[in-house]
Amino acid sequence: MRESKVKKQERAEEIVSRLRALYPESKCSLNYKSAHELLVATILSAQCTDHRVNIVTKDLFQKYRTPTDFAYCSVTDLAKDIHSCGYHNQKAKSIQGSSLIIVEEHDEIVPGSLNELVALPGVGRKTANCVLGEIYNVPSMVIDTHMIRIMGLLKFTKTKDAKQIELEMMGIFKEKDWVNLTHLIIDHGRAVCIARRPQCGDCALVDLCPSSSI
């Protein structure tokens, strides 16, 4: 039976409520002290675990302390410094390129609009929405692999297209929950709804999930 939008919204609200009870400390798992550090960390996180990124940025942010440091550094040295995050040559170019624009066109301030952020090298909607939500408190939704997978399991979407999922979820979940939702889903995806072996028997959402094996 087809679920109405109102029913989806009601189910979504209950899901957020239960996840908040389970993960009250849920937040961005990348370590950063500034908007630019978050931007760099998020670029590094593509195809890489947040845990690995945090290990790398611990030293990286001691060596490169400002957007200017990244903008005018040796891209070869930067690639070596981030080597263990994977795709290090491309990520180094993206980090230097975006830093250069931030320094020369935005007075060292990371822009606070989606259009300006996605115009930066290596910055897509996922990275832009992360910065907007975490730094500028702009209602935004980060669609990562956990979100794509779990929103599909919850039958809130049928697509794997991140931008389409973002727009669909914005119509289902309350705006005040958008930023926190991704962190809640990531925590749940790591702890219970694990990709290769979902623990449906231990899941607090079991009665709200059409894909449950129970």
> Catalytic pick from 50, 69, 93, 144?
144
Report d(CA 108, CA 92) in Å as an integer. Answer: 18
Report d(CA 76, CA 88) in Å as an integer. Answer: 10
Active site residue 77: no
Please, are residues 100 and 110 in contact by the beta-carbon 8 Å criterion?
Answer: no
| Rg, C-alpha atoms of the chain | 18
Classify residue 83 as exposed, middle or buried by CB count within 10 Å of its CB (0-12, 13-18, 19+). Answer: middle
> Catalytic pick from 81, 126, 177, 187?
126
Report d(CA 8, CA 165) in Å as an integer. Answer: 14
| Chain mean position to CA 132 | 11
Active site residue 91: no
Catalytic residues: 126, 144
